[in-house]
Structure 1
Amino acid sequence: MMKWLGKGYRCLISAVLVIVLAVSSQVTGYAEPVSGPGANITSGNTGSTNNVTIYVSKRTKTLTLKQNGVLIAEYPVSMGAASAEGNKKVEGDMRTPSGEFYVCTRNDKSIAYLALGLSYPGIKDAERGYADGIITEAQRDEIIKANLAGQQPPWDTPLGGAIEIHGCRVPDGTTHGCVAVDNSDMDVLWSYCNLGVPVTIGP
């Protein structure tokens, strides 16, 4: 009973705490950097250690989990409040990024139950951000370097970061850019998703 109440309490306060984290300049402390198999693993290549892939549809607001190309489950998700306005461009724009990413962190102490950190900003995001004058050349190079090494890219640049698949979804709710699922669904994703699992966020 106490265990259930503990999880419920974490979800109850998560909305407030996520807002605080989203605007905090210390966002890099939200999850420790860890290494994965590499950013060359994409949704079209089942090269992850257990042949798992994830596809998130912005249009249908669903997350599809597959292993060896076989459908395991499909879950409803909540996304960034302004995701319909286009792709994520900067920190605080309330948009969920589109593109091909990989799981770069696993956080079992998340304020949102459990969390799988994604490798946003990616290489294309870094190149676009530098071309548009949003980030410096040094920041661009650090992001690219981390992606090529399969590590967590910097989450503290003007492009934003700390985009995660996490629990504590609020039905018909929105996030600041993360992909939120129900806790029971997050349990399944956690059991399937090692570091390096490819995640595509698309239409």
Structure 2
Amino acid sequence: MMIGAAAGAAGCSSSTAPEVPTYFGPDVTRIQVFKEQRTMQLLHNNSLLRQYRIDLGFDPKDHKQQEGDGRTPEGAYLIDRQNPNSRFHLSIGISYPNADDVARARAMGVKPGGDIFIHGTPTQWVGVPDWTWGCIAVTNTEMEEVYSMVRVGTKIFIYA
């Protein structure tokens, strides 16, 4: 597996977007997040490629129920977008809420929330545990690696 620096093509990169390394290794076929252990794993089939220590939402226990609850969702989702201009260094979107999440929130009379991402960590939050609004955070250097390795459509499983 190799990761090397890649220069942005003229007109295709933003001066504010971080430079992302190029990844030449096996495809990431699955992401596993273990909330209680505060770990995230990138896998190719059953082979572990990378593992990271993570921070979660400010109230991480249990599944996300509604907008603003500070919980990180649990369940099976997809990576549905990449954001090179994130205010959290770089980010990749998680397809929360799914149909079940929407139905559960509707039954409770609340909004399910959204905009759940894996992203980097701004300087003021380095060393602060579980500071997000429900997202999964890694260091900015780790986020550059994750961003280069993970593609839209990758399955992500978030466990309690």
TM-score (norm 1): 0.61
Q: What per-residue deviation string (whole Å, max 9, x for no partner) do you get for residues 116-139 of structure 1?
A: 0110001210221233333xxxxx
Q: For residue 124 of structure 1, give the secondary structure of its aligned residue in structure 2.
A: helix
Q: For residue 83 of structure 1, give the secondary structure of its aligned residue in structure 2.
A: coil
Contact 2:17–2:84 (8 Å) recurs in 1: no
Q: Which has more strand, going by share of residues?
A: 2
Query: CA shift at 1:172, angstroms?
Result: 4.0
The corresponding residue for 2:23 is none
Using the alignment, how far apart are the partners of 1:194 and 1:55 within structure 2? 15
Q: How many positions carry a matched residue from both structures?
A: 133
Using the alignment, how far apart are the partners of 2:17 and 2:93 within structure 1? 20
Query: Is residue 2:81 matched to residue 1:74?
Result: no
Task: Note the residue ranges of structure 1 that are not aligned, 5 or more in a row.
Answer: 1-5, 9-49, 135-157
Q: For residue 191 of structure 1, give the secondary structure of its aligned residue in structure 2.
A: helix
Task: Note the residue ranges of structure 2 that are not aligned, 5 or more in a row.
Answer: 1-15, 19-26
Q: What per-residue deviation string (whole Å, max 9, x for no partner) do you get for residues 150-169 of structure 1?
A: xxxxxxxx211000000116
Query: CA shift at 1:7, angstroms?
Result: 8.4
The corresponding residue for 2:89 is 113
Compute the RMSD of aligned alpha carbons. Answer: 1.9
Query: CA shift at 1:190, angstroms?
Result: 1.0
Contact 1:52–1:192 (8 Å) recurs in 2: no
The corresponding residue for 2:120 is 167
TM-score (norm 2): 0.77
Identity of aligned residues (%): 34
Query: CA shift at 1:76, angstroms?
Result: 0.4
Q: What per-residue deviation string (whole Å, max 9, x for no partner) do you get for residues 3-36 of structure 1?
A: xxx789xxxxxxxxxxxxxxxxxxxxxxxxxxxx
The corresponding residue for 2:71 is 95
What is the one-letter code of the residue matched to 2:156?
V
The corresponding residue for 2:142 is 185
Match of 2:35 among 58, 64, 74: 58
Using the alignment, how far apart are the partners of 2:108 and 2:67 within structure 1? 14
Using the alignment, how far apart are the partners of 1:52 and 1:170 within structure 2? 29
Query: CA shift at 1:192, angstroms?
Result: 1.4
Using the alignment, how far apart are the partners of 1:117 and 1:181 within structure 2? 14
Using the alignment, how far apart are the partners of 1:183 and 1:133 within structure 2? 37
Using the alignment, how far apart are the partners of 1:131 and 1:106 within structure 2? 31
Contact 2:38–2:54 (8 Å) recurs in 1: yes
